[in-house]
Structure 1
């Protein structure tokens, strides 16, 4: 299995590093709520709830 995280940095509000850090902390903390043994995916949203990327688990 592989975990893929894709974020469009140009879609993030300024400063990019603060928002990217928030996204990474949020998803790292929430991964325990997902069954990572099956293929799955979900969109990633910034603090303004705008879609800025996605993550997925693939075989």
Structure 2
């Protein structure tokens, strides 16, 4: 299986803000992965600290993107 995380942030943000938000996404969603079976097809939206959707994570088969 493959774990895919895609996150898009505003290019106009300071680098420190982007790093802080990405760190939050990784901590929050990493801590919640135990709620999922982690099988191909599993996934969820990810949100920034303002509760705006900024990406998704998903589990795919090894040969999928």
Q: Partner residue of 1:8?
A: 8
Task: Structure 2: state its 5+ residue gaps.
Answer: none
Q: How does 1:1-59 map to 2 (within 5 A)?
A: 1-10=1-10, 14=14, 15-59=17-61
Matched-pair contact (CA < 8 Å) for 2:45–2:53 = yes
Q: TM-score, normalised by structure 2?
A: 0.77
Structure with greater proportional strand content? 1
Task: Structure 1: state its 5+ residue gaps.
Answer: none
Instruction: List, as ranges, runs of 4+ consecutive aligned residues in structure 1 with deviation greater than 4 Å.
Output: none
Q: What's the offset of the Cα at 1:40?
A: 1.6
Higher Rg: 2
Number of residue pairs matched by the alignment: 58
